[in-house]
A and B are shown apart, each in its own frame.
Chain A
């Protein structure tokens, strides 16, 4: 294969992103009803978080079982802002009147500002991931330990959300939201706008990740996943590389969570639980953890499957999900997107075989 073809092949993923963008930004808004488009938007939020998981887990080898934590941080930050918007400029959210003292807690107050909220959606999860990542990776805590710890923290976060009903609305979470930065949430035009913003964010995240994978950082990240000791011997600090990937994944999950709120119209602890985190992982595993587009597509598929199958067959859905985990991880660990090129190769090989036979 000559150099030109190689260089061209490196841009193959961009074609994939372009096709996905065409589907999400042009075809879907035209073809789907407002309700279905809203659902697709929710799956896009999972996909945004999924792209981050692909980076941390697929490329970095860190099994981030607790992305629900970061999804939740972003979602609750957004939820708090929208809740304050719904309450009005000087009023207090309804649940605080019912369960709390009726006085807005000091740490809620800054979320009245939209700019602060947007900054918080990026900065808070980044800080949490930074501290946690440094604590874990600098001390060379094993991968399995990290997976368990991150899941444990998600469980703790969920328990905290449920118990601090005065501040978080408890089990019901933050609901009855009315506007999104001043735009009515129930106006179909605004709904479409929120969907478009989410879809554009997903495409942008894919492009950022595409660039990251091509960069030196992407190379070293893969090297760290495969041979951490050798990377250390070469003079890099694998902990720093892992922390960076983990922080980026956390920010992506948080942004996904933040956009989830206006589309779902609510956020509650169930959406950010350990099970929700595992669902995110399921999408990435199905799509292909180490590929660029696999995690996004997998998350869209699992989101769609969850809505359509779980409503029709709530019990069988669990079997289906469990079986999917077992089959995908056991037999196609590189995900569905890895099967297509392989099948294509196999097909081609057979063709050339036949040709060779004919030639003989």
Chain B
């Protein structure tokens, strides 16, 4: 029983991190059909933003509060830059965006290494996140609880943005039928840019969260990018609730498989489970219904 609880919590924490990374991807992948491999590097940029914030505001207790919006803006601007310079030239070439953004991710990784050095940087966690909180006898680390809360907050924020604001309505209209949205006066170009800004910014927020559990280094994004894409694929493209379920399912599955076998075997088995799952639901958990054949 203890094992069940501890693995569930470990998995949920991992799932929450994945969810933070995948949320931005669902937006950009779902809406624009862009496979942004540089998304992991936006996470890395967010983590370095947290590091830089802490250099300025040395008090770790309050620096994280400034780091979150700062990282959002830094990563968001990087995403915006990428959209304007590169991706806007590549509409309808989904697979090619993958390769181009892979090139971008290589460049960003090397740039981070040149700017901040090859040595991993540590970001101090605020003192109010030290310690654990006992839940069902399991001592749940507060940092992980914070990540969980943060990711849930981001989901709620993003969902209400999409649901209740005019901007959100325009995004949904663009996802469902770009041509029609344009016809009724939605400027899909600026919607694309804003979507990309928000999606990339969320990766930055994820980066700040990740600094609480791992060291900050130039290749840290690689750790998450493939898993985050699997979450998007399993959840259904452009589906936030799909991403939520898939992220926690993947995280918890991996945690249990790690306990039963070992770390890398768990990775292999989880990947295979995703392939098997796609046999049952090729479109992912929730599919966006369209009339297009492709």
Contact = CB atoms under 8 A, between A and B. Distances in A.
A326 B86 contact: yes
A144 B94 contact: yes
Given A152-B230, A152-B271, A325 B98 contact: no
A152 B107 contact: no
Contact of A63 (B86, B98, B104): B98
Interface stretch (B58-66, B205-213, B260-268): B260-268
Nearest to A315: B110
A315 B113 contact: yes
B264 A132 contact: no
Interface string A42-83: 000000000000000000010101000000000000000000
Interface string B87-124: 00110011110111011111101100110000000000
A274 B106 CA distance: 13
A149 interface: yes
A94 interface: no
A156 interface: yes
A145 interface: yes
Contacts, number: 124
B95 A149 contact: no
Contacts of B93: 333
A23 B107 CA distance: 34
A144 B265 contact: no
A278 B226 CA distance: 14
Contacts of B94: 143-144
A63 B226 contact: no
A274 B102 CA distance: 11
B59 to A, nearest CB: 35
What bracket does the count of chain B residues touching chain A fall in? 35 or more
A172 B89 CA distance: 42
B226 A139 contact: no
Contacts of A63: 95, 98-99
Interface stretch (B4-12, B194-202, B275-283): B275-283
Contact of A322 (B98, B107, B276, B293): B107
Dominant secondary structure at the B interface: helix
A330 B103 CA distance: 11
Interface string B252-292: 00000000001111011001101110110010000000000
Interface in B2-33: 29, 33
Chain A: interface size category:
35 or more
A155 B110 contact: no
Contacts of A229: 293-294
B95 A321 contact: no
A193 interface: no
A322 B95 contact: no
A147 B35 contact: yes
Specify which of A139, A144, A153 lies most central, judged by the most chain B CB atoms within 10 Å of its CB: A144
Contacts of A330: 86, 89-90, 100
Contacts of A98: none
Contacts of A329: 90, 96, 99-100, 103
Interface stretch (A13-21, A26-34, A158-166, A179-187): A158-166
B229 interface: yes
Nearest to B284: A145
A318 B98 contact: no
B67 interface: no
Lowest 7 CB-CB distances: which A-B pairs, in order?
A325-B103, A163-B264, A322-B106, A322-B107, A159-B264, A318-B110, A156-B268
27 contacts: A135-B275, A135-B279, A136-B275, A139-B279, A139-B282, A144-B33, A145-B278, A148-B35, A148-B226, A149-B278, A152-B226, A152-B230, A153-B271, A156-B272, A157-B268, A159-B267, A160-B264, A160-B265, A229-B293, A278-B102, A315-B114, A318-B107, A322-B106, A325-B106, A326-B107, A329-B96, A330-B90
